[in-house]
Amino acid sequence: MDTNKDKVILITGGAKRVGATMCRELHRQGARLMIHYNNSMSEARALQAELNLLRPNSVAIIQGDLLNLNVLPTLVSETVHQFGRLDVLINNASTYYPTDLGQINEENWQDLIGSNLKAPVFLAQAAATELRKNSGCIINITDMHIERPKKGYIVYSVAKAGLVTLTKSLAHELSPEVRVNAVAPGPVQWPESNPQFDEVYRQRVINQTLLKRVGEAEDVAKAVKFLIYDAPFITGHILAVDGGRSLNL
Q: Which residues are tagged catalytic?
A: 156
Distance (Å, whole) CA 186 – CA 181: 17
Closest Cα partner for 224 from 27, 15, 85?
A: 27
Assess contact for 225 and 188: CB atoms under 8 A.
no
Q: Contact at 8 Å (CB) between 179 and 231?
A: yes
CB within 8 A of 199, min separation 6: which ones?
A: none
Q: How many CA atoms lie within 13 A of 221 on its CB side?
A: 19
E strand residue ranges, 25-120: 32-37, 59-63, 88-91
Which conformational region is residue 236 in: left (phi greater than 0), alpha (psi within -120 to 50 degrees), or beta? left
**Strand ranges in 56-205 using DSSP code E only, listed in sequence order:** 59-63, 88-91, 137-141, 179-185
**Distances in whole angstroms, Cα of residue 170 to Cα of each of 89, 164, 237, 241:** 12, 10, 11, 21
In 3D space, the residue among 71, 77, 240 whose CA is nearest the CA of residue 93 turns out to be: 71
